[in-house]
Amino acid sequence: KQEVTQIPAALSVPEGENLVLNCSFTDSAIYNLQWFRQDPGKGLTSLLLIQSSQREQTSGRLNASLDKSSGRSTLYIAASQPGDSATYLCAVRLMNSGGYQKVTFGIGTKLQVIP
Protein backbone atom coordinates (compact mmCIF):
# COMPACT_ATOMS: atom_id res chain seq x y z
CA LYS A 1 0.00 0.00 0.00
CA GLN A 2 1.35 3.36 -1.05
CA GLU A 3 2.02 5.79 1.79
CA VAL A 4 2.84 9.44 1.26
CA THR A 5 4.51 11.50 3.96
CA GLN A 6 5.05 15.22 3.97
CA ILE A 7 7.54 16.88 6.26
CA PRO A 8 7.33 19.31 7.91
CA ALA A 9 3.64 19.45 8.81
CA ALA A 10 3.89 23.20 9.25
CA LEU A 11 6.45 25.82 8.32
CA SER A 12 6.72 29.51 9.06
CA VAL A 13 9.26 31.66 7.22
CA PRO A 14 9.93 35.38 6.73
CA GLU A 15 9.07 36.93 3.40
CA GLY A 16 11.78 36.63 0.77
CA GLU A 17 13.24 33.38 2.05
CA ASN A 18 13.75 30.39 -0.21
CA LEU A 19 12.22 27.18 1.12
CA VAL A 20 11.87 23.48 0.42
CA LEU A 21 8.91 21.23 1.09
CA ASN A 22 9.41 17.49 1.17
CA CYS A 23 7.31 14.56 0.04
CA SER A 24 8.26 10.90 0.39
CA PHE A 25 6.47 7.81 -0.86
CA THR A 26 6.92 4.11 -0.18
CA ASP A 27 6.18 2.55 -3.59
CA SER A 28 8.59 3.89 -6.19
CA ALA A 29 6.69 2.44 -9.17
CA ILE A 30 4.75 5.63 -9.64
CA TYR A 31 3.17 6.97 -12.81
CA ASN A 32 3.53 10.61 -11.82
CA LEU A 33 3.56 12.97 -8.86
CA GLN A 34 1.63 16.18 -8.48
CA TRP A 35 1.94 19.15 -6.15
CA PHE A 36 -1.20 21.06 -5.19
CA ARG A 37 -1.92 24.18 -3.25
CA GLN A 38 -4.96 24.47 -1.00
CA ASP A 39 -6.13 27.72 0.54
CA PRO A 40 -8.19 27.51 3.77
CA GLY A 41 -11.65 26.06 3.13
CA LYS A 42 -11.02 25.87 -0.60
CA GLY A 43 -10.38 23.20 -3.19
CA LEU A 44 -7.04 22.14 -4.62
CA THR A 45 -5.13 24.05 -7.27
CA SER A 46 -2.60 22.09 -9.30
CA LEU A 47 0.90 23.58 -9.24
CA LEU A 48 3.20 21.10 -10.95
CA LEU A 49 2.89 17.61 -12.41
CA ILE A 50 6.03 15.51 -12.84
CA GLN A 51 5.89 12.38 -14.96
CA SER A 52 7.86 9.36 -13.77
CA SER A 53 10.37 9.83 -16.59
CA GLN A 54 11.12 13.42 -15.58
CA ARG A 55 13.48 14.73 -12.90
CA GLU A 56 11.99 18.16 -12.42
CA GLN A 57 9.40 20.70 -13.46
CA THR A 58 9.46 24.46 -13.11
CA SER A 59 6.76 27.10 -13.06
CA GLY A 60 7.72 30.63 -12.15
CA ARG A 61 9.17 30.65 -8.64
CA LEU A 62 8.32 26.97 -8.13
CA ASN A 63 10.54 24.03 -8.92
CA ALA A 64 9.59 20.43 -8.19
CA SER A 65 12.06 17.57 -8.35
CA LEU A 66 11.50 13.84 -8.39
CA ASP A 67 13.83 11.03 -7.35
CA LYS A 68 11.89 7.82 -7.86
CA SER A 69 14.63 5.52 -6.66
CA SER A 70 14.70 7.14 -3.25
CA GLY A 71 10.95 7.76 -3.16
CA ARG A 72 11.27 11.50 -2.73
CA SER A 73 10.09 14.74 -4.22
CA THR A 74 10.80 18.31 -3.20
CA LEU A 75 8.98 21.53 -3.94
CA TYR A 76 11.30 24.52 -3.96
CA ILE A 77 9.75 27.98 -3.58
CA ALA A 78 12.05 30.89 -4.35
CA ALA A 79 11.71 34.34 -2.81
CA SER A 80 8.61 33.46 -0.81
CA GLN A 81 5.73 35.95 -0.56
CA PRO A 82 2.82 36.27 1.90
CA GLY A 83 0.51 35.16 -0.92
CA ASP A 84 2.28 31.80 -0.91
CA SER A 85 0.74 31.05 2.49
CA ALA A 86 -1.36 27.91 2.04
CA THR A 87 -1.25 24.17 2.54
CA TYR A 88 0.82 22.31 -0.04
CA LEU A 89 -0.23 18.76 -0.88
CA CYS A 90 1.70 16.08 -2.65
CA ALA A 91 -0.18 13.38 -4.60
CA VAL A 92 1.35 10.22 -6.01
CA ARG A 93 -0.31 8.32 -8.80
CA LEU A 94 0.05 4.61 -9.48
CA MET A 95 -1.50 2.71 -12.34
CA ASN A 96 -2.87 -0.72 -11.60
CA SER A 97 -3.00 -3.67 -13.97
CA GLY A 98 -6.46 -2.68 -15.15
CA GLY A 99 -5.27 0.74 -16.25
CA TYR A 100 -7.00 2.53 -13.42
CA GLN A 101 -5.37 5.34 -11.51
CA LYS A 102 -4.72 5.06 -7.81
CA VAL A 103 -3.92 8.42 -6.28
CA THR A 104 -2.55 8.73 -2.77
CA PHE A 105 -2.31 12.12 -1.10
CA GLY A 106 -0.09 13.33 1.71
CA ILE A 107 -1.56 15.29 4.62
CA GLY A 108 0.19 18.43 3.45
CA THR A 109 2.56 21.07 4.72
CA LYS A 110 0.97 24.25 6.02
CA LEU A 111 3.12 27.19 5.00
CA GLN A 112 2.96 30.65 6.51
CA VAL A 113 5.04 33.43 4.99
CA ILE A 114 5.39 36.33 7.38
CA PRO A 115 5.58 39.87 5.90
Residues that bind another protein (CB under 8 A): 4, 31-32, 34, 36, 41-46, 49, 89, 91, 93, 95, 98-101, 103-107
Report how far residue 49's alpha carbon sits from residue 92's, in angstroms, rounded to the nearest whole number. 10
Closest contact distance (angstroms) between CB of 60 and another protein is 18
Report how far residue 32's alpha carbon sits from residue 53's, in angstroms, rounded to the nearest whole number. 8
Closest contact distance (angstroms) between CB of 33 and another protein is 10
Residue with Cβ nearer another protein (43 or 60): 43
Q: Which residues contact 53 (CB under 8 A, 6 or more apart)?
A: none
